[in-house]
Structure 1
């Protein structure tokens, strides 16, 4: 028997039904009759309250208020604490936010690939972290150490072994505040001087519009920007500052996992010629489906 703990982060319930549909598909791929699944939905728009989740396939599902001080990361930590208090440490944790429903197209085949790899990793007793992997153009120095690639955190998984060693997913608000400025100062921008300049440039290429350097996105391989990317100003400084803290938290999660000896795996990993071809075709198919679905959703909204 395997115990699975799902922790899903939202801000308000407007995308909940679609998110639960995606998570239900993943649950079906993972859990057998003897397995147990607990789903905690953390609503970071709430400061109090909670209730059981009304869903036929999520009998052990519940909704709780979150902690938005480091957005999804402190929210996920709230969900972890709630599951631990109710049922102890799951064998496998799956973390997601409502981006999984809004910005990513999850076909049945994509869910099957994601779920199948998590199920296989669930048998591995050593610490592991799983999700889609992004890479830097070159080795980059994060505030916690060097990094070549990181796991995207819109939907990712780890086992109980790694979760226990990590403690909290958020690296701590006090630490994060030491890396970014707390108010708008044009001469300093967002990050403090202690953060590596190359890392700052890479993150800023995605987060902040800068018309003075039109080649920056191409240099760093970004084909798109954060949907709220804008030129830094007093009006949007707080929002960009909070998002920068989340970007730091995301990349440093992979650093922390590596420092704890975790195996880091992707649904598109391959170790031989046939597997390389198969995984490459799967990646292309998933990304094409994602573009098709997002285009359809945009047309429906217009």
Structure 2
């Protein structure tokens, strides 16, 4: 497995693979990989003859007061995980390599970015779509793999691919959880021991909502109240949002008569965590 830092060197490998008829899977990440990322690489390895993992902490998707500088980085550790999971190449560029002098072209996806994390993190999806579109153009993959934990991101990427006619299949992969139910996240490393225990309220509240839905409660306001009551039992948890939206349009729904995404974001201390499920 190779680690390359330049677009020119990466394209050289890609062009060689393309000439030999390989299908290429791309797994875009910001590094500090965990079992969730590993599941994406495994899926890409199963579906394609070559796999590229990008490891790039993308500065333009972070807000002014977010954790760009403190975001965990460990390329040696990540390299071992990638190789064990079946990756053939890691693309680990610098910000200067990705965004040259006077960079001034960005991609906005309207509509889908106005709710959930998009409402709370202005400019976030503009940064995500810009970097992902650059990676698509650089790697020219057959398929690209994204986790369903970032459900809004997955929906936005699918819309961008359709609107801009990228000839790429987008694959969503299931959420991978710790044994106690917490969704895997690179940001979990920020949590103290006490905060780690408190974070379990995230999954507990979603399980309460699932039970209520199965019991026949279809009023979104009642479900939000059920989730909120559970979250408020944890003193360290601060609610960022609780949303029940159409699983395709991501617009709020009042009565649950279609597939919906139930999504929540909370702060445990200074750490922002998200989780979700789709109810058919």
TM interval, short-chain normalised: 0.3 to 0.5
TM-score with structure 1 setting the length: 0.31
**Quick one: higher RCO (CA 8 Å, sep 6+), 1 or 2?**
1
